[in-house]
Structure 1
Amino acid sequence: MHLQERKKKAIKRLTRGIHPVYLMAENNFPPLPGFIPVKPCFYQDFNEIPEMHRTMCKRLYHLWILNSTTLAVNLIGCFAWMCGGGGATNFGMSIIWLILFTPCSYVCWFRPIYKAFKTDSSFNFMAFFFVFMAQVVISIIQTVGIPGWGVCGWLATITFFGTNIGSAVVMLIPTVMFTAVAVLSFIALTRVHNFYRGSGGSMSKAQEEWATGAWKNPHVQQAAQQAAVGAVQGAAHQQEYSSAPDYDYNYDNQM
């Protein structure tokens, strides 16, 4: 029992200085209930982001949550639009917006900026800028609210007040949320761009990373994880053996 306790304490002491990414490699996002057969697809831990970038990365994550929530509220607004006599096309399109753009926005622009802040990768910064500029344009279109596009923007909401005031009031909620997403997205794009330019990033640096393959190296990451875990286990076993009592039996005296 004493050896087991010493072993646990040794492992805890040795792993205290190792970064969590090496100790918890299992995917944890999105957090799904255990009864669902689908498992999380990504590993996400803001503690692995350098402290100077962590706040900005969290704000972009909150922006993604706001965007996804807005698409869900837009679904309700389009349902009220349909119930008020606006037709089923917008409601059907709102379902597509929610199902398609919620995971795509996470994969296409949040994951690149997450990796960019984590590894200071110019390639991932460029990927974020390219996709997020499209996200800003889409947010502006959603704010405008072209009828038939499945979004409750200002144009669709204001024109529907003459048809059904109750439905238009419900539509006004996602309209305001789309406006907030568009404004915050533009601010976020500007701030990330200013930070990237101020840190010495450039297109040539991103091209160099692409040419050398430095923007992704899963084999190196896996080897580092295995080496860290192996070092912990090896040191723990070594300490266990060194702490075990060494009995020196003298068989000649016993005989």
Structure 2
Amino acid sequence: MSYNENPFASSNTLDTNPFDDPVKPSTNDAQLEDLRQREADLERRERELAQKSDNIRKHGRNNWPPFFPLIFHSIQDEIPSASQPLVTRLYQLWLVLAGTLIVNMVACICILASGSSNGGGDLGSSIGYVIIITPLSFLLWYRPIYNGYMKEQALYYYLYLFFGGFHLLFSVYMIIGIPSTGSAGLIQTIQAFSKPSLPAAIVGTVATVGWVVQGVGLAYYYRQIWAHHNAAGHSVEKAKAELASHGAKAYFTRG
């Protein structure tokens, strides 16, 4: 101790009240939880980016179809969250359609094996449906409405409404099941039960149910899309302007 120091001087400032409770560091649980949530979100996004980067390294930017990627298809990444459930259901209905076309073809094989006089024509047409309708349905009505909700452009809605309406008529045609048309629908299935030819009847029933499910489902969502199209104020003039501005290449591009 220096002799010049005042031994009675206090080391505490006069501004501090010695009778106050000691100050404890405050912890905000809500802030800590928010911080932890942000860290978890960052980790999740990093994992998603790593997965996307890995997919790009393997297949390039395109990821669909999985066995031979030709286009990029990601409802989660490209469709607004409010529209994701509807577009997901439409994609599932397209998958039901693809599966129904295959089952329908198998049913026509069974119809031919049962000795039907129209079996050859049914089988040939059913094979053509698998080869032609599967890709065309994706390109002409599913992909346009996918792009429509992604870009919110009138042109895509008109493409969907036209080709989607045509496909609804095709679904009704396939549900009926007229002999020699390549459809194992109601008429063909009833005839298979009456023979009886159980394999053709059973597979035909599955095909008929498939046609009904995807047809009714598409009709239901067709009405919703029509209402959304009207509410959004899309018009033929707007579609023409979009086509003139962007050209046909806009169909194959994103953004």
TM-score by length of structure 2 reads 0.71
Shift of 1:117: 0.8
Q: Aligned partner of 2:228: which letter?
A: F
| Partner SS for 2:115 | helix
Hey, what does 2:187 align to over in structure 1?
Answer: 155
Name 1:117's counterpart in structure 2: 149
Correspondence list, 1:26-65, <5 A: 26-32=61-67, 39-46=68-75, 47-65=77-95
User: Whole-Å Cα distance in 1 between the matches of residues 249 and 197 of structure 2?
Assistant: 53
Secondary structure of the corresponding residue to residue 69 of structure 2: coil
**1:181-192 matches, cutoff 5 A:** 181-192=214-225
Higher-Rg structure is: 2
Length, aligned pairs only: 201
User: Could you say what the CA RMSD is over the residues aligned between the two structures, in angstroms?
Assistant: 2.8
Q: Deviations over 1:112-133 (max 9, x none)?
A: 1111111111101111111111
Q: How does 1:221-236 map to 2 (within 5 A)?
A: none
Deviation at 1:188, TM superposition (A): 1.6
1:200 corresponds, among 211, 217, 233, to 233
* Superposed CA offset, 1:56-94 (max 9, x none): 111111110010011111111111111111222212221
Does residue 1:171 correspond to 2:207, yes or no?
Answer: no
SS in 2 for 1:40: coil
Residue 102 of structure 2 is matched in structure 1 by 72
Give the counterpart letter for 2:73 in structure 1: Q
Which structure 2 residue ranges, 5 or more long, are not aligned? Answer: 1-41
Percent sequence identity is 27
Alpha-carbon deviations, 1:197-252, whole Å to 9, x = none?
1122222221221232377559997xx9xxxxxxxxxxxxxxxxxxxxxxxxxxxx
- Distance across 2 between alignment mates of 1:73 and 1:43: 28
CA distance in 2, matches of 1:84, 1:215: 48
- Structure 1 segments of 4 or more deviating over 4 A? 22-25, 214-221
Change (3 A) 1:115 1:219: closer
What amino acid sits opposite 2:61 in the alignment? E
The higher relative CO (CA closer than 8 Å, separation ≥ 6) is in: 1
Whole-Å separation in 2 of the counterparts to 1:97 and 1:219: 24
* Contiguous gaps of at least 5 residues in structure 1: 1-11, 33-38, 225-255
Whole-Å Cα distance in 2 between the matches of residues 160 and 192 of structure 1? 38
After TM superposition, list the pairs within 5 Å mapping 1:3-22 onto structure 2.
none
**Alignment CA distance shift 1:183-1:220 (3 Å):** closer
Distance of aligned partners of 1:150 and 1:210 in 2 relative to their CA distance in 1, 3 Å threshold: same
CA distance, structure 2, for counterparts of residue 219 and residue 181 of structure 1 = 26
**Residue 173 of structure 1: how far off its partner (Å):** 1.3
Q: CA deviation at 1:184?
A: 1.1
Q: State whether structure 2 residue 165 is matched by structure 1 residue 133.
A: yes
CA distance in 1, matches of 2:154, 2:251: 17
